[in-house]
């Protein structure tokens, strides 16, 4: 009789949760290609939102669960989600019963807790992964029900009781890890840039960052005489930023107008953007592990409203390694930013030191380690 292993995934809300989850899913699929006699079934329990197509193309069945968000701050939405939670839990109990996966992998975030609780009721092995130095509330509540817990930062391990936790780093999407024949000069040309002029890559997260967008626009005319800028605005912000940029450069002579380019979202060319960059300006979080893969120096501006201030702690650890300069948002001024940027870009020794520190921070095997543990638990439950 053919062996049949059913793997379930849950967790979401932002790219910081979904992309590492997909990286692990890709590694599971790749690993199981070595076992053609084993039948595999994959399901995602939750609300995939804007990432639905990513699950569909991987043939991961979507089992919709009403999303509920756990907040640590006062909000009327807490009342709404408290009412929704029992319904979400009932949905999870029913849908897991019909699928009865052999193992559940959770990335935490919106909608994951009902699935975790339902899996625990059915005594299904659970693996939880935490991408931040300070775990989110969903994962903190999930840890006691988990068989194994993987964390990206050493600091997060203190929130896991017993010996079921391990520091594995943060999963990175396989296409970013794959070797590339494209040089930095070629990558710059892909975006229409001059290969001889440094490129600043600006990314405020998968949904963009309005305050980061506004800050960069405020100093755009001071950047373009010396640098080229490739700025991901976020889909919702793209139109406004494009219009504001046209106003900023109104009457400016060429070639400066061609040195600042905006995109809404990197879909198929994110890797090219990383390769083209000489320095990266970004928010913090799990995205830092993708920056680290490419060994790029960076200036990191943590989102001050992040849950548990986790972006600050993530950026702190990254900066302590020497991989980035961290500027807290309340201290972010044009003078400070431009001074730090110049200090990095005009000193090859600093660039090399930061690049080396970034590469040493990267964890290219994280997805493989988690995938192997998922397969082991799923296999063992048969």
DSSP string, 82-115: HHHHHHHHHHHHHHHHHH--SEEEEEEETTHHHH
Q: How many CB atoms lie within 10 A of CB 73?
A: 7
Express the helix, strand and coil content of the chain in percent, nearest 5 each: 50, 15, 35
CA 111 to chain centroid: 17
pLDDT reported for residue 224: 93
CA 76 to chain centroid: 28
Q: How many domains is the chain partitioned into structurally?
A: 2
* Domain shared by 155 and 265, yes or no: no
* Domain shared by 127 and 182, yes or no: no
Instruction: Report d(CA 12, CA 10) in Å as an integer.
Output: 7
CA 114 to chain centroid: 22
* Domain shared by 62 and 87, yes or no: yes
Instruction: Report d(CA 354, CA 319) in Å as an integer.
Output: 9
What does each C-alpha distance from 240 to 221, 228, 233, 234 come to in angstroms?
Answer: 18, 20, 9, 11
Number of H helices, E strands in the chain: 16, 13
Contact assessment for residue 173 and residue 23, using Cβ atoms and an 8 Å cutoff: yes
Kindly report whether the peptide bond that precedes residue 255 is cis, defined as omega within 30 degrees of 0.
yes
* Domain shared by 348 and 371, yes or no: no
Residue 268's contacts (CB-CB under 8 Å, 6 or more residues apart) are none
* Domain shared by 197 and 332, yes or no: yes
* Domain shared by 29 and 129, yes or no: yes
Residue 237's contacts (CB-CB under 8 Å, 6 or more residues apart) are 208, 210, 213, 264
Query: Scanning the structure block, which residue is given the tokens 């990197």?
Result: 266
N-to-C CA span, the chain:
13
List the CATH number of the domain containing 19.
3.40.50.2000
* Domain shared by 17 and 155, yes or no: yes
* Domain shared by 152 and 193, yes or no: no
* Domain shared by 153 and 291, yes or no: no
What does each C-alpha distance from 364 to 30, 169, 207, 351, 360 come to in angstroms?
Answer: 15, 8, 24, 22, 10
* Domain shared by 298 and 266, yes or no: yes
Intervals of the chain under pLDDT 70? 1, 68-83, 205-208, 251-257, 381-382
* Domain shared by 115 and 180, yes or no: no
- Print the domain residue range for 257: 176-361
pLDDT reported for residue 161: 94
Left if phi > 0, otherwise alpha if psi is -120 to 50, otherwise beta: which for 172? beta
* Domain shared by 286 and 375, yes or no: no
Residue 125's contacts (CB-CB under 8 Å, 6 or more residues apart) are 102, 103, 104, 147, 148, 377, 378, 380, 381
């Amino acid at each position: 009789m053919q062996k049949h292993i059913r793997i379930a995934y849950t967790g979401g809300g932002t790219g910081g949760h979904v992309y590492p989850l997909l990286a692990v899913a890709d590694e599971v699929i790749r690993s199981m290609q070595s076992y053609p006699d084993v039948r595999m079934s994959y399901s995602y329990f939750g609300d995939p939102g804007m990432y639905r197509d990513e699950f569909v193309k991987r043939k991961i069945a979507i089992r919709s669960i009403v999303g509920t968000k756990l907040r640590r701050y006062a909000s009327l939405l807490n009342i709404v989600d408290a009412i929704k939670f029992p319904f979400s839990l009932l949905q999870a109990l029913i849908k897991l019963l019909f699928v009865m996966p052999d193992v559940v992998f959770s990335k935490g975030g919106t909608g994951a807790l009902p699935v975790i609780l339902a899996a625990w009721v059915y005594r299904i092995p659970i693996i939880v992964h935490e991408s931040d130095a300070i775990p989110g509330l969903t994962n903190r509540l999930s840890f006691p029900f988990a068989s194994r817990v993987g964390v990206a930062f050493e600091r997060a391990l203190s929130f896991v009781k017993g010996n079921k936790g391990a520091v594995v780093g943060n999963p990175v999407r396989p296409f970013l890890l794959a070797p590339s024949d494209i040089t930095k000069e070629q990558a710059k040309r892909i975006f229409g840039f001059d290969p001889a002029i440094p490129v600043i890559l600006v990314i405020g997260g998968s949904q963009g960052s309005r305050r980061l967008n506004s800050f960069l626009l405020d100093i755009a005319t001071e950047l373009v005489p010396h640098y080229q800028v490739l700025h991901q605005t976020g889909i919702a912000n793209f139109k406004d930023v494009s219009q504001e940029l046209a106003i900023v450069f109104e009457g400016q002579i060429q070639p400066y107008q061609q040195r600042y380019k905006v995109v809404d979202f990197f879909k198929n060319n994110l890797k090219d953007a990383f390769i083209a960059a000489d320095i990266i300006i970004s928010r913090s979080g799990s995205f830092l592990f993708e920056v680290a893969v490419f060994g790029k120096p960076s200036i990191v501006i943590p989102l001050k409203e992040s849950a548990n201030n986790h972006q600050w702690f993530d950026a702190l650890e990254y900066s302590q390694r020497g991989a980035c300069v961290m500027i807290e948002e309340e201290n972010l001024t044009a003078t400070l930013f431009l001074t730090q940027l110049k200090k990095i870009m005009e000193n090859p020794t600093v660039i090399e030191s930061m690049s080396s520190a970034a590469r040493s921070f990267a964890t290219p095997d994280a997805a493989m380690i988690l995938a192997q543990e998922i397969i082991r638990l799923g296999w063992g439950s048969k």
